[in-house]
Amino acid sequence: MIYHRADAAKPHMGMKTWSGETPRKADAEVAKNYLDEKELDLLNRIVSMYLDFAELQALSRRPMHMRDWLEKLDDFLKLSGRNILADAGKISHEEALIKAHAEYERYHRERIDAPSEVERHYLDAVEEIKRISEPPKRGRRK
């Protein structure tokens, strides 16, 4: 997800959420930050349901090992109609991070080079003064 959604040309580099005022490099490494509101809501619901299931298992005092939890998670996701990854995929975590860092550096440079809000207001005011200062254009008389 990081590899496909990190894009310096998009607002906030394609991220929908981040910590702080503006996205940081560390935020670019978190796949959840690229989820839109609907996707994030769905993820939160799945996590909440699975934690409720885990709590029921604990209340039943059923001993569970990590491999058991992984199997139960796959079963839970299948039951809810979700696709399960069969392997690690085509893009490694390392490749995704390399791309995210490169996109972040490009995004950061463009953000630094872009005029600040104060500079934009100043430039707009200068343009307005030029427009007001120009003598009105008179049409030709026939």
Name every residue whose Cβ is closer than 8 Å to that of residue 17 and which is 6 or more positions away in sequence.
32, 33, 35, 40
Q: What pLDDT score does 141 carry?
A: 61
Q: Is the pTM of this model over 0.75?
A: no
- Residue 142: band (very low, low, confident or very high) from pLDDT cuts 50, 70, 90: low
Is residue 138 a part of any domain in this protein?
Answer: no
Task: Calculate what percentage of the chain has a pLDDT beyond 70.
Answer: 96
Domain of residue 22: give its range: 2-133
Which residues, other chains included, contact 126 with Cβ-Cβ below 8 Å and sequence gap of 6+?
none
In a domain, 80, yes or no: yes
Q: How far are the Cα atoms of 52, 101, 125, 137 from residue 95, in angstroms, in the given order?
A: 34, 10, 45, 59
Does some domain include residue 103? yes
Asked, for residue 140, whether it belongs to a domain, the answer is no
In a domain, 102, yes or no: yes
